[in-house]
Each structure stands twice: as C-alpha cells, then as structure tokens.
Structure 1
Amino acid sequence: MCKCAVKKEEKSRVMTVKNSWRLRALFRIEEYIRDVGQDSRAKRMGYCGNTIFVKVKKGDPSNVLYEPQLRCKDRVCPVCNSYRASILSRKVEKLGKDMENPHLLTITANTLNRDSLKTAVECFKKSTSLLKKERSWWKRYIRGGVEHIEITYKEETGWHVHSHMLVDLAVDRKVENMRLTENGYFLDPLKKELEHVLSKVGLGTISDIRPVTEGYGKEISKYSMKFGLDIDEARLKEIIVDMKGKRMVSRFGNCYGLKEMEELTPKEEEQYETLGTIKEVVDKCFKETGVDSELVQYALRAVKIGLIEIWSASYKPEPFQGMKNDSS
C-alpha cells in the first residue's frame, strides 16, 4: 500500500477536562443575576470561568493558586470566591504567626431582624462596631485581628449573620470557653465577661473563643469559598441584590493598616510562576506514556475544589434523554 494513502493515526487523549460543580454554580448564579436585570454584571461573571490558570509559588510547590484570567471580582462568583479563599487562608496563617497570643473568636447576631438580609447585615455591623469600641472587654483584651462575616439561611429561623475572627488576645494565657479548675469545668471568666458585653451591644450571647490550631487560615477562609452556594433561588437573588459591593473581610486594631487580605500585591504576584491553564496542566500530567507526579497534584486539587472534572477518554456518555436534575 502506498504510504501516502495511509491516514495518519491520531493519538487518543488519555484524559479530558469537563466543567465541575463550581463552574455549574457560576452559570446558575449568572442566570439569576440576569433575572434581576443586571446584565452587564452577569456578563462579567460569565467571563470568569472561561480560563483558569495554575500558579505555583517559586520554591514552594505546595503553595498553589487557581486564578481566572479575567476576574469579575463579584462577591457571589463561586470561582472568584475560591481564589479569594486561597489567598485569605495564606495571609491569615501569616498574620497568626506574627501575633503574640492568636485565638479564634466567633460572634453571632441576636434573634431579631432575621426576615430581611439587608436589615440583618446592617444591624449586625452596627452592633459589632459598638463591640469594637467597648472598653470594658474589647479594648482591654483584643490587640487586633481580621474578621470574616458569614451569612446563612434557614427556613425556620431566617437569615443568620455571624463573624469568624482571628484575634491577638492581650492576656498571658490560652483561653477556652470552659476552664478546668480543681472543682471541675467552669465558664472561663473572660468568656463570661464577653457574653455580658455581647448582650449589651445587641449581639447574640452564643459565641466561641479558643486558641488557634493547625489550619486556622483555612478555618476562616472556607466561608469565602462557599458563599452563595447551597441556597434556594429566592434567597440567592436576595444575596445578589443586597450584598452587592459589601465588604465581608475586614481588619481592626493593630492589624488595620495591613494590605488587602483577599488579593495579592504586585510584589506577591512576582513570587508565583504560571504553569498554564488547568486544561494544559491536565494534558501534560496525564499521558499515554504515564503520569507526571509533579503536575498531577495540581490537577487533583482543581478537582477537589470543584473547578474541573477529569474523565477518561474511553468514557462514553449515555445518549441524551432530556434534562436531568444534577445533584453533584
């Protein structure tokens, strides 16, 4: 047979990349933004998931970021929130190492004003502002820190607003909610004073204070990553309208002058190298000749945080049978 008549056989790809749950969530939210009449905002978000680059810190392969090429920076964008959470986690960890006595502190809103998200957030912020001016407890015990506001919704109780904080505690001991004495466990005096002050400024008395443990950066940043997910259409539209432009992360006390906690500075950007898009990284690490173990970890992390799914090239999807509910 003539060689020129032989069709060159194309090598089959071992893996293929598909959109995962986080990108499908982006498309869902984008549609709801259009429903409330904010088309330009929806268009910006639509660009966000198109191309995501894998960036690794030079000299530290465990420090990896997945950054959209064109970021909408919208508070309800699932892809931007994943990127924000990665940066916030690293900066909170670094902040904690510079503190003399780092603790995690959680405070909650009271049981009032839960029907309207806008009202609930406004009341919570007014009360936390009063708390941070309180001399009998806050000024006495808190040197400074960083705060992340979390918002959840339950049909039975309405909107629930609360703050997760990393604080530098101005005492010479570790503080838990309960303190062990010779006669058993009792409410720590510092926590007891906190409950009194919270009630005084209009916050809920349910709170939590404890020393930091490993992974405290992720503990605070994970609330950025899941914002706006797992909530019904009506409540999500309320978030889209009422939380537009609202700041969820803030600094106070001796941490107030720090740089933006959810973005890299130009100097920090220089410390990272770009390996390519997620798709390019997957193509490089999964080959017919074997697996590149140095790259595969980055692909699997992208799967873990919901940016992609990886399917075998031998996978054959079932014939189309109409729309199905996707619970993944």
Structure 2
Amino acid sequence: MCKCTVKNEKKSSFVTVKNSWRLRALFRIEKLIREVDQDSRAKRMGICGNTIFVKVKKTDPTNILYEPQLRCKDRVCPVCNAYRASILSRKVEELGKDMVNPHLLTVTANDQNRFSLKTAFQCYKASMRLLKREKTWWKKYIRGGVEHVEVTYNEGTGWHVHSHMLVDLAIDRKVENMCLTDNGYFLDPLKKDLEHVLMKVGLGTISDIRPVTEGYGKEISKYSMKFGLDIEDDRLKEIIVDMKGKRMVSKFGNCFGRKKEDDTSSEDMEELTPEEEDQYETLGTIEEVVHLSFQKSGVNSKLVKYALEAVRIGLIEIVSNEMVIRKSQEAFLNVDLVTT
C-alpha cells in the first residue's frame, strides 16, 4: 500500500476523523492490483481520495459534490466511483428533462458464456449493438437515452451483465411491464415485442420497463457507486484485469453528442465541464468542514449536514464524544440531509 495514502488521524477536543469503509475498500483493491503486477496503476489509486473537497452549488446549497483533488479515474476506484455516481445522477436528470416520454429500461444478458467475464462482456456488448440496430423495435420505439452497464457475480450462475437505461419512448403513452384490461393484468404488447427482439439478438428475455419516478438519476447512478464492492478477491481480480478501459456509460440516439454534456477526455458524463465547475464553490476539504462543524460554541447547522452526508456515503467516519454526538443529532433535525 502506498504510504502516502495513510492519513494521520486529526484530533481535536471535539471530533476525530478516520478513514471510512470506502477508503479501506480502496486500500484492499490497491493491494489486489499490485498482485496482478500493475504497480503504476496501484500507485495512482493509492493517492486517490487523499484530499477530498466539499463543493456546493452556488444557486442551490443542497446540491453538493465530494470531489477528490487528485483522481485516478480507475474503473474500480471506490472514491472515483462515488464522485462518478454523483455527476452521472445530475446529468441523467438533465437528459430526462428534455425527453418527451422518459422511461427506465433494464436489459440483461442471456444465460450463456457466464463463467468468463471477458467473454461475457464481449458477447453482451455485441448483442447490445445488434439490439440498437433493430428496426422492428428499437428504432421504432426509442428516440434516444443513456445506458449504464452493471456487472455482478453469482457463485452458482457466474457473471451477470446487464444495462440500466433512461430512454425516451417514441409513443404517446406510459408503459409498464403489465397492463390492466377489463379481463385482468396482461403483458404489455410493447414489452412482449421487446422480449421477442431480445431473444433474436442473443440477449436475455428478462427485462423491465417502467415510467420514471422521482430520483431516476440516482436510480441509474447508484450502480456506479457500488461497482467492484462486496465481491471476493479472485473475482475482483478478474474485474481489475478484464474491465480496464471498458466503457460503462454511453449515450445513444438523440442524446448522443449533446454540447456541454460530453467529456471527450474520459468516459461520457464522468466529470463536470468547466462551465458546470464554475457553478460550484469549495467549502474546503471534508476534514476542514467536519472541524468547522463542531466548535466550542456548538454545532454549525449549515455545515454539519455536509459532514454527515460524507459519513453516509462512506467517505469518512467521525469519532466524537457523547456531547458532540447529541448536539450534531439536534442540529441534524433542523436541516434536510442531502443525498448525492
């Protein structure tokens, strides 16, 4: 483990800020990267997240970012993934506002080729390309959208690759998997046709389509935040090797190539543009905000919500005496806890 990644605990008479479960996960992944002989990559990850700044949107103080000063941008970095999910959530919501009929769509791989991640991912991407060229369903019903690919592993069934998408349906009604008729619930005709097309292009028929509800940006982005976590070491090594450089987020149709939303230097929707960056002000590092939140005079209710949110998403842990805990809880009741 890179020595510069290990922070000394900063103590005061009020609070102690410690490494969180997310940073401990980063150290574990760094170690596994070294075990597959990718030392330079491990070194970059080792320093990532060493200093994380709290940024607040100038026009909306509930809209916050926890941005690392130095980012490795690695696909399996837990700190970068937390930041990536926050950015993705906002940009998915922006895309959705311009859609005529936004829906959430989930598409899965079939049950073949699941015991090699490299093969499973290649087969899935090939089938998805066929699906997006399909004229009888995709070209007919999908104007455009954004896709996030998720990869999970099950000991019994192997690797499971699937996509969570926000799509703009080119029809004038809402679509659910099942529709209610006078004779009861039946599979929606559009969903039934989708299953036929999925089988035709080599994808699994298990899918889900439904209208968007509040928070659909977070619904899609949350899969970025948990990527590579809660998986055993041998499987995680496969992800480290086989998923390096793979595109997990992409736009298509009328959402592709939109100005100010493309990041040509890295994966789409992964970072703020310079124009968007100017909309935020920096309050300081997480540790600085934590210590400003807890003073002799009491708890700063305007700042404590940012400290507690950093705890909630796993960027830090706070060890404090009983009085500080009680005061922070009282202050917390007076503010709305923001989510990223």
TM-score w.r.t. the length of structure 2 is 0.88
Task: Give the aligned partner of residue 206 of structure 2.
Answer: 206
- The 10-residue stretch of structure 1 (255-264 or 296-305) with the greater mean CA deviation from structure 2: 255-264
Q: Cα 1:162–1:309, aligned 2, differ >3 Å: closer, same or farther? A: same
Task: State the shift of 1:212 in Å.
Answer: 0.1
Equivalences for residues 45-84 of structure 1 within 5 A: 45-84=45-84
Equivalences for residues 279-318 of structure 1 within 5 A: 279-312=287-320
How many pairs were matched up? 305
Counterpart of 1:157, as a letter, is T
Task: Give the aligned partner of residue 24 of structure 1.
Answer: 24
8 Å CA contact 1:45–1:74 kept in 2: the answer is yes
| Counterparts of 2:183 and 2:207, CA distance in 1 | 24
8 Å CA contact 1:110–1:205 kept in 2: the answer is yes
Task: State the shift of 1:94 in Å.
Answer: 1.2
Counterpart of 2:188, as a letter, is D
| Counterparts of 1:312 and 1:179, CA distance in 2 | 53
Task: Give the aligned partner of residue 153 of structure 2.
Answer: 153
Task: State the shift of 1:299 in Å.
Answer: 0.3
Q: Which segments of structure 1 move beyond 2 Å, counting only runs of 4 or more?
A: none
8 Å CA contact 1:150–1:163 kept in 2: the answer is yes
| Counterparts of 2:314 and 2:277, CA distance in 1 | 24
8 Å CA contact 1:13–1:288 kept in 2: the answer is no
Task: Give the aligned partner of residue 88 of structure 2.
Answer: 88
Matched residue SS, 2:179? strand
Task: Give the aligned partner of residue 170 of structure 2.
Answer: 170
Deviations 1:170-189 (A, max 9, x none): 00000000011111110000
Q: Percent identity?
A: 79
Task: State the shift of 1:313 in Å.
Answer: 5.2
Task: Give the aligned partner of residue 15 of structure 1.
Answer: 15
Deviations 1:57-114 (A, max 9, x none): 1120111000111000000000000000000001101111110000000000000000
Kindly indicate whether structure 1 or structure 2 has the higher relative contact order, using CA contacts under 8 Å at least 6 residues apart: 1
Counterpart of 1:285, as a letter, is S
Counterpart of 1:279, as a letter, is E
Equivalences for residues 234-273 of structure 1 within 5 A: 234-258=234-258, 259=262, 260-273=268-281
| Counterparts of 1:138 and 1:262, CA distance in 2 | 26
Task: State the shift of 1:12 in Å.
Answer: 4.9
Matched residue SS, 1:65? strand
Deviations 1:139-175 (A, max 9, x none): 0000000000000000000000000000000000000
Task: State the shift of 1:287 in Å.
Answer: 1.2
The answer on 1:122 being equivalent to 2:130 is no
Equivalences for residues 207-226 of structure 1 within 5 A: 207-226=207-226
Matched residue SS, 2:92? helix
| Counterparts of 2:201 and 2:59, CA distance in 1 | 47
Deviations 1:212-232 (A, max 9, x none): 001100000000000000000
Matched residue SS, 1:230? coil
Matched residue SS, 1:66? strand
Matched residue SS, 2:176? coil
| Counterparts of 1:13 and 1:98, CA distance in 2 | 50
Task: State the shift of 1:19 in Å.
Answer: 0.6
Counterpart of 2:318, as a letter, is I
Counterpart of 2:282, as a letter, is T
Task: State the shift of 1:16 in Å.
Answer: 1.2
Deviations 1:2-36 (A, max 9, x none): xxxxxxxxx95211100110000000000000000
Unmatched 5+ residue regions in structure 1? 1-10, 316-328
Matched residue SS, 1:246? coil
Equivalences for residues 30-45 of structure 1 within 5 A: 30-45=30-45
| Counterparts of 2:81 and 2:283, CA distance in 1 | 21
Counterpart of 1:96, as a letter, is G
| Counterparts of 2:154 and 2:173, CA distance in 1 | 37
Counterpart of 1:39, as a letter, is D
Matched residue SS, 1:132? helix
| Counterparts of 1:102 and 1:189, CA distance in 2 | 18
- The 10-residue stretch of structure 1 (54-63 or 193-202) with the greater mean CA deviation from structure 2: 54-63
Matched residue SS, 2:120? helix
